[in-house]
């Protein structure tokens, strides 16, 4: 895995947006060291400095891209004392700030097997800007890892337990209810909540049965086309998370919910 050719490419996630040249500048920094690397842009439209959203996106993409070098930069603490790190999980490596951004993805690939703090400035691009570590610190290290530099050559080993983690989203379960935090609203207005197949099972509602989701009644279905137009459906999404959709409508608007809100899902005996 650490040999050249072991990774499919470098997968790149930031909050840099697509209107500036920041992303292209980092591509340049990567190509200067790893001229043959494929670069896959995961997304650069993470809301500015929204580490939680970046972490969720990276985790949802990583299992389908591995083995990869993941370069992830959502970094409100750039220039402060937050550490710059690289870590290995499964057959992939991750490079970015130590602010929790990469941990959920690493967990999905089997957990952090090894972590280093990027303390070898001779590997950085100089002068190192105070505000653009994507270009000067993280991209050069990601490119070096891609071309085969071992993880332990780009920094000093640190205890994986010392890496910062985000507060996990709310997810609680009672006898006939689940409380779960909305972790994402997708482009179609579908709400992804921090609950999974186990939680659905615990509610003991068959497919086609009904649950109360906040103040509305939803059908448990396979997906949004399982219900009539305008009806609400609760289903396991393509990422194995419970999602709430409205067939031919926007669930976020109809349920008045957004990221960070907690919604209660309750089994219904009778259809509301």
**Which residues contribute to the site for a copy of itself (CB under 8 A)?**
8-9, 11, 15-21, 23-25, 27-29, 31-32, 35, 38, 40-45, 48-49, 57-58, 60-61, 64-65, 76-80, 129-132, 135-136, 184, 186-188, 222-226, 235, 237-238
* Smallest distance, a copy of itself to C-beta of residue 117, A: 19
Smallest gap from residue 17 Cβ to a copy of itself (A): 4
Exposure string of 171-180, with b = 16+ CB inside 10 Å and e = fewer, is beeeebbbbb
Residue 87 is encoded by which pair of tokens?
Answer: 């870590």
Give how far Cα 93 sits from Cα of 40, 48, 114, 231, Å: 15, 24, 9, 43
Separation of alpha carbons 211 and 10, rounded Å: 42
Toward a copy of itself, which CB reaches closer, 114 or 250?
A: 250
Q: b/e for 79-117, b at 16 or more Cβ within 10 A?
A: eeeebbbbbbbbebbbbbbbbbbbbbbbebbeebeebbb
Q: Which is nearer to a copy of itself, 67 or 160 (CB)?
A: 67
Nearer to a copy of itself, 137 or 205 (CB): 137
Token readout for 1 is 């895995």
Nearer Cβ to a copy of itself, position 31 or 267?
31
- Min separation Cβ 196 and a copy of itself, Å: 14
Min. distance of Cβ 4 from a copy of itself in angstroms? 14
Measured from the CB atom, the residue of 179 and 247 that comes closer to a copy of itself is 247
């Amino acid at each position: 895995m650490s040999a050249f050719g072991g990774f499919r490419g470098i997968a790149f996630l930031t909050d840099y947006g697509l209107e500036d040249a920041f992303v292209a500048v980092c591509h340049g920094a990567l190509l200067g060291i790893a001229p043959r690397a494929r670069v896959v842009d995961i997304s650069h439209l993470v809301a500015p400095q929204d580490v939680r959203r970046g972490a969720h996106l990276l985790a949802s993409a990583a299992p389908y891209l591995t083995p990869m070098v993941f370069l992830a930069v959502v970094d409100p603490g750039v220039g402060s004392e937050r550490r710059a790190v690289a870590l290995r999980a499964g057959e992939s490596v991750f490079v970015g700030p130590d602010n929790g951004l990469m941990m959920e993805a690493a967990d999905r690939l089997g957990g952090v097997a090894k972590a280093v703090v990027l303390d070898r400035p001779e590997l950085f691009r100089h002068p190192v800007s105070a505000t653009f570590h994507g270009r000067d610190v993280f991209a050069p290290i990601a490119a070096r890892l891609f071309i085969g530099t071992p993880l332990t050559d780009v920094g000093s080993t640190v205890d994986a337990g010392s890496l910062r983690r985000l507060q996990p989203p709310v997810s609680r379960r009672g006898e006939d209810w689940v409380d779960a935090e909305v972790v994402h609203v997708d482009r179609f207005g579908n709400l992804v909540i921090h609950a999974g197949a186990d939680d659905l099972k615990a509610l003991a509602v068959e497919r086609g049965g009904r649950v109360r989701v906040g103040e509305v009644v939803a059908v448990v279905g396979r997906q949004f086309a399982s219900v009539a137009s305008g009806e609400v459906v609760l289903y396991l999404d393509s990422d194995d998370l419970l999602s709430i959709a409205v067939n031919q409508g926007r669930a976020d608007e109809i349920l008045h919910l957004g990221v960070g809100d907690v919604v209660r899902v309750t089994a219904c005996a009778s259809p509301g």
